[in-house]
Amino acid sequence: MSNIPDHTGALTCGLRDFFAAADGRGLAQAYARIAAAGATPPPPADWDETEYAFNRLFVGPGPLAAPPYSSVYLDPEPRLMGRSTSLTRAVLQAVGLESTWIGSIPDDHVAVELDAALALRNIAATTGPGPGGELAALRRYFVAGHMARWVPRFADRVLGQLSLPGPIVTATRKLELWLEAELAALPPDAGAAPARDIPQPSTGGDYA
């Protein structure tokens, strides 16, 4: 699998739709979008097992095996609507946007953050870096300083589960590659800061 940046946003949209899917049909449709954006293993004939696993990992009703919210991984406390959620919301607000789920589903759900990354890329493409490079800095913060700090841990949590159906493995691996490509696609930074704030594995405090 290559790590060519997703210029058309097709992969971003496919991943977003996958992690936001409400049922097996939604998962199948999203998977098709992912497949259209690049080489992908064939889909299963029956999506039931994938749907059950998807719910077990990301939705419920039981405790989630891999909660798809940044605040679970980044905040001092694995919770919803934490500090990280507020930061994501602030990033959106800074560019005049809000989540359609606002108030009822945390803004830092991976699907919302994928959409946010897409929005920031589109704005950068149409508007440029902004006065004093502020827009570029905001985009760099969001992708390198926020998503890059939790998405890999989220992916690790998913891939560490046993007996994962193929589509979930594929989507998660594609998510990791998407992130690498997004980071590579960030405009070079004038300052001396590193391209990526590499998180250390945590020894405790993980939501388990």
Partner 1 sequence: MSGWDRTRMERTLENGVTRRGFLKGLALTGAAAAAPCLLLRALSADANQRFGEGYQVFRNACPRNCYDTCSIKSYVKDGAVRFVEGAPESTYTHGGLCVKGNSYVRYAYSPDRIKYPMVQDGRGTGRWKRISWDEAMDRIAKKILELKQQDGSLLGLALTKYSGNFGITNYGVEGLMSSLGYTTRLVGTPCWPAGIDAQNFDMGNMWCNDPEDMTQSRYIIIWGANPAWCSVHSMKYIYAAREAGAKIVVVDPVLTQTAAKADEFWQVVPGSDGALALGMCRHLLDLGLHDAGWLKANALGFDAFAAYLRENVTVEWAAKTSGVPAERIRAVAEEFARAKPATIWIGYGMQRHVNGGASVRAIDALVAMTGNIGKVGGGARYGHLQTWGFNYHAMIRKPPEGSKGFVGAAGPKGEFDFAQGGAAVKYTDRALNINKTAQEILDAKDPAVRMLWVSCKNVLSQDFDRNKLLQAFKKLELVVVADHFFNQTVEQADIVLPVTTLFEEWTVNVSYWHYWLSLNEQAVKPLFESKSNIEIAAALSKRLNELAPGSCTFPTQLDTREWMEKEFNKKVYELFGIQSWEDLRKGPVKARMPQAAWSDLKFGTPSKKYEFTSDLCAKNGNNALPVYVEGRKPYDKLRLLTPHSKFNIHSQFQNLDWMMGFNPAPVVYVHPAAAAERAIKDGDTVRVFNKTGEVRLTARLTANVARDTLLMYEGWYKGLAFNCQNLVDDTPADMGKFKTGAPGVAIHDQFADLVRA
Partner 2 sequence: MAKRLAFLVDAKRCLGCFTCAMACKNQYATEPGVNWREVYPLQADIYPHHERAFYSLACNHCEKPACLEVCPVQAYSKREKDGIVVHHQEKCIGCGNCIRSCPYGAPRYNPVEKRAEKCSLCHERIDAGLQPACVQSCPVAALTLIDLAAGEPDNSVQFPPGYPKMPALNPATRFRQAELPIIHRREDI
200 counts as binding partner 2 under rule CB under 8 A: yes
76 counts as binding partner 1 under rule CB under 8 A: no
**In what helix (H) or strand (E) does residue 54 lie, and over which residues does it extend?**
helix 48-54
Query: Which of 39, 45, 46, 61 is close enough to bind partner 1 by CB under 8 A?
Result: 61
Query: Which of 62, 63, 76, 103 is close enough to bind partner 2 by CB under 8 A?
Result: 76
CA–CA separation, 159 vs 174, rounded Å?
12
Query: Which of 68, 82, 106, 152 is close enough to bind partner 2 by CB under 8 A?
Result: 82
Q: Minimum CB separation from partner 1 for residue 149, in Å?
A: 8
Give the tokens for residue 55: 């719910």
94 counts as binding partner 1 under rule CB under 8 A: yes
Q: x/- binding map, residues 27-46, to partner 1, per CB under 8 A? A: --------------------
Site for partner 2 in 118-137 (CB under 8 A): none
CA–CA separation, 166 vs 49, rounded Å?
10
Torsion of CA 101, 160, 118, 75, to 10 degrees: 60
Q: Point out which residues bind partner 2 (CB under 8 A).
A: 75-79, 82, 200, 202-205
